[in-house]
Amino acid sequence: MRKGIAVSPGVSVGTAYCIHEIFVNPDTRRLEENQVREELTRFERARDQAASELRALSKKVSSQVGEQEAAIFQAHETILHDPAFTSKVRSCIADDHLAAPAALHRVLDEYSSLFARTRDEYIKERLADVRDVIVRLSGHLSEVLQPDSTDLPGPLVLIASELLPSHVMVLGERQMAGIVTQSGGRTSHAAILARSRGVPAVSGVRGILRQIKTGDRVIVDGRDGVVIVGPDAETESAYRKVEREFVHLKDQLAENRDQDAVTADGEPIELLANVNSLSDTDAAVAMGASGVGLFRTEYLYLTHRDVPDEEEQFQAYCQVIEHSPSRCVTIRTLDLGGDKTVPYFGHDREANPFMGWRSIRLSFEHPDFFATQLRAIHRAAAVADADCDVRLLFPMITILEEMRRLRRIVRRLLRDMQAQGIPTRPIPLGMMLEVPAAAVSIDALLGEVDFVSIGSNDLVQYLMAADRDNPKVNHLCQPLSPAVLRVLSQVIASCRRAGKPVTLCGEMAGMPRGFVLLHGMGLRSFSMSPAQVPVIKDLAKQLSQEKTEAILQRALELKTVGEINRFMRTQFAELAPNLKMLDTQ
């Protein structure tokens, strides 16, 4: 039994499916003598394909982003043709009779050991470039790097060091019964994906990939953050009973998809969905969301082989708008940086990447790149039906000057598009409130925005000065901490006084305990993972304004996270005993 962080509720029993960072159990069997020449030819062919791909990438990135950003791919091509690198791989194949993927694996290990001994940070960072080149070569050597899941019995539990957006692309629509990761917390990619798919998940289970292999039996308890490898028959039987109860409850809740979201007072509330892709949008419809409150456009970039051009983006935005519930969608501009990076912005390490060159700051520094996205969004909004509600959201706004600058950029863009005869229409412009400075000065900012979306994931880590994905400090990133509740209460009150629509689109919106307190603050618009919509819709029916305001006032009097959690656990059990299985913190 291993303990981690409970990040998505429920229980599942299944077969482990392990994803390692680059290679999954590379085949180390020795080649026959007559196979060596063919394997060398296969490596050379993969190298030529990778080089051609890198040249095309460099050209495309240079025209869309900039020459400096394209230089990363030129550097990768240099590594690809480096005599020392290629001779090492060829030697492993010709002399040691290793298959090309295993040869690349060995060479990567050699470089990793070599780079680890140097104190020069610049040289250490070049290892990331070598890894990228090897990943690209591996992709051309084999279209499928992961073990074939079709031969594995029963539902699958995904085990990974961390779940990256690129893994999501590889997995596609493959159904997973559970997810376990070695790193990350409640707001990691793995946690967000698990909740969006409604599957149990546990993160922060250190070393799990050393203790489990593909095909092992595994239990995931997303309520208590427990993972059990190789359970005995009695343990498996007990957890299967809980798993059936969990599935039955989810099926029951899904039946409310066509019901309006209202409280016990009969007051309507808005339950929106956070989406990364078209498939998430379809899930939002299936779960009964009333619209898309946050379309994370960066996933278009994170899962793209290079950089999506304006036409690709335009088509993607049109599809999401057309498929969104009620055709209501808030589109957030690129939120890259921090833990979400693309190769054409390089591997340069920042001491504090979450507080550095990311999000809207990156967009400001690449105006042509930014303009391409803004044009695609405005074109998609213009061709949508008149009854479509399309909004534009800017992330990580810190100061008033940024919103004023963005309004000027959008005005100029619309004038240019109109001069070119491209149809446009004005759409509401909003800010993502996730920086404490913006929360403190919210009253000044409200004059420059049409709406506000609170990004609680980043707001919490910035308030607590703790990286939410750092296992040494992520215990501080608690959305129900006294400081967070006070700041949220003040921001929501300011927005309501100014008559500006406000939504909370962080993971806190889909947490039952968080939802109760946010409702008590007067918030009436929530955006969450699609799978959480039926849960929150059922919970809302059991709440009244008088009740949640009283709970909030008592919670604000408490002085520690532990006190608030204990209090909310008791309150939730009384408010919604039928949902107790889905209550995690």
* Residue among 298, 297, 296, 280 at smallest CA distance from 340: 298
Contact present, 190 and 181 (Cβ < 8 Å) = yes
Count Cα atoms within 13 angstroms, Cβ side, for 566. Answer: 6
How far is Cα 379 from Cα 217, in angstroms, rounded to an integer? 50
* Residue among 79, 94, 93 at smallest CA distance from 47: 79
Strand partners, 275: 295
How far is Cα 259 from Cα 67, in angstroms, rounded to an integer? 53
273's tokens? 């969905």
* Residue among 365, 353, 350 at smallest CA distance from 402: 365
Phi then psi dihedrals of residue 203, to 5 deg = -115, 170
Q: Which residue has the tokens 């997973």?
A: 176
101's tokens? 């993927």
* Residue among 430, 457, 460 at smallest CA distance from 445: 430
**Ramachandran bin of 396, using left for φ above 0, alpha for ψ from -120 to 50, beta for the remaining angles:** left
Q: Which positions are catalytic?
A: 189, 505
* Dihedral, 308, 309, 312, 316 alpha carbons, nearest 10: 70
Q: Which residue has the tokens 């044009």?
A: 375
Strand order in the sheet with 217-221: 2-3, 226-229, 217-221, 11-19, 156-160, 178-181, 201-203, 5-8
How far is Cα 40 from Cα 102, in angstroms, rounded to an integer? 13
CA 433 distance to own-chain centroid: 18
DSSP string across 234-276: HHHHHHHHHHHHHHHHHHHHHTTTTS--B-TT--B-EEEEEES
CA 55 distance to own-chain centroid: 29
* Residue among 68, 129, 280 at smallest CA distance from 194: 280
Residue type, 167: H
Report how many helices (DSSP H) and strands (DSSP E) the chain contains, helices first: 23, 16
Q: Which residue has the tokens 């409970």?
A: 6
How far is Cα 483 from Cα 524, in angstroms, rounded to an integer? 21
Q: Provide the 8-state DSSP code for 29.
A: P
How far is Cα 189 from Cα 340, in angstroms, rounded to an integer? 9
